[in-house]
Amino acid sequence: MAKVIPFQAVRYNTERFGKDLARFVAPPYDVIDGVMERRLKEDRLNITHITLGDENDKYTIAARRLKTWFDDGVLVKDPDSCFYIYEQTFSTPGGEPRVRSGIVAAVKLEDFSRGIIMPHEKTIPKHKADRMLHMCAMSGNTEQIFLLYDDPTEGVEAILSDARKREEVLRFVDPEGVHHRIVKVSEPELVSKISKLLEPAKLLIADGHHRYETALEYRNTMRAKDNTKEGSMPYDYIMGTLISFRNRGLVVFPTHRLITEVDPKLIQKLPKALEEEFMLKKMHGPDELAEAVERSPVPAFGVWIPASRTYLHATPKDKEKSEDPMQDLPVFMVQERVLKRFLGYTSEMIDTKVNIEYVKGTSPTKYAMASGEFQACFFVKPPSVEQVMAVAEAGQKMPHKSTYFFPKIWSGTLLYLFDR
């Protein structure tokens, strides 16, 4: 059973700075490029000075800065343990208004073998090593991970709906126009009800696989060092935002693939090679192709080869649904049946982004044109939440960068620190 408990969050001092935290917050560390990082760090109190660090020995220096912020009253700790409700209001690319809300809590870390918390994507050792250095320096979580769960009775959703009427403890609007607000739930009877409702749930990691696996490693290291009982220490838990996969505001964007520096002969032969396994339909341009992939009722992907003005909509010749949920994922088809089989890619090349770039969102054409030279762009239909759950429950992991849940859970809202 999942153990989800309230906690005392550390957060920016709103009595000093006001409730609008736009100047302090940032997207998760792993989606910030160099240009964005420099812009965010123009404010000396922005959370990126903590999540990304600055100079050499950056996390040691960031930890010192964190202490200074406490001493100077920039950050304060809530006096009581609470659940927090994180609400995001936004519009889809088609202009449809959505509201996504979830519970921010301390979630007991569980080994994947227990089947209580499940991953769905592969991780990369290099990225985990970086997060381990960060976590050791901070002694806590400076960002939330994103977890999905099933709420068949919608009991938690009813609580979330009522909580929207409360006054927020913080708010901001991000550059993409998403409105973020957080409210507190501290009443003992309501806190107890939320914990009990979430007890039977299996939790799926939607975003934050590297941070979760790092937290497991940190917990194991500290538990051996301290000789403590399971579940008795703050590091036995991780801060996460839990959102029901029935939530009407849940949106998954595709993550497309741009290919560079592949043998031109392989690119020229690709359309013919694809005919062996896929039904191909010619399109008249990249925008039409991207739209056709997005609207396809069956697993599909698109191939855009700019040099030959080739635009192909591809669906598997085998129309039977596989018993293996991974086989029906377009992102898996592109990686295993195209990049590896026909274009000479290896798993290591894909994981370390050698000759491949990942393009998030629903407007890959504009991004691809602006990015300069590329040999091919693969449009992929994003997996549904049900497909993600099926893969996780089967004990499998999707290819790297298979999902992009929008909007992101922003950093700088709440922190969970073990020694403060």
Q: Are residues 269 and 370 in the same domain?
A: yes
Check residue 365 and give its pLDDT.
59
Q: Are residues 149 and 117 in the same domain?
A: yes
Please write the tens of the pLDDT for every residue from 369-418: 545 578 999 999 889 888 998 999 888 989 888 888 999 999 999 999 99
Q: How confident is the model at residue 368 (pLDDT cuts 50, 70, 90)?
A: low
Q: Are residues 74 and 129 in the same domain?
A: yes
Please write the tens of the pLDDT for every residue from 56-65: 778 999 999 9
Assess if residue 386 is contained within a domain.
Answer: no
Its domain, for residue 204, covers: 4-251+406-417
Q: Are residues 180 and 284 in the same domain?
A: no
Assess if residue 400 is contained within a domain.
Answer: no
pLDDT, average across residues 212-239:
92
Please write the tens of the pLDDT for every residue from 18-35: 999 999 999 999 999 999
Assess if residue 320 is contained within a domain.
Answer: yes
Q: Are residues 74 and 182 in the same domain?
A: yes
pLDDT, average across residues 135-158:
94
Q: How confident is the model at residue 350 (pLDDT cuts 50, 70, 90)?
A: confident
Assess if residue 293 is contained within a domain.
Answer: yes
Assess if residue 45 is contained within a domain.
Answer: yes
Check residue 57 and give its pLDDT.
75
Q: Are residues 260 and 369 in the same domain?
A: yes
Q: Are residues 83 and 116 in the same domain?
A: yes
Assess if residue 61 is contained within a domain.
Answer: yes
Q: Are residues 110 and 138 in the same domain?
A: yes
Q: 0.75 cut: is pTM over it?
A: yes
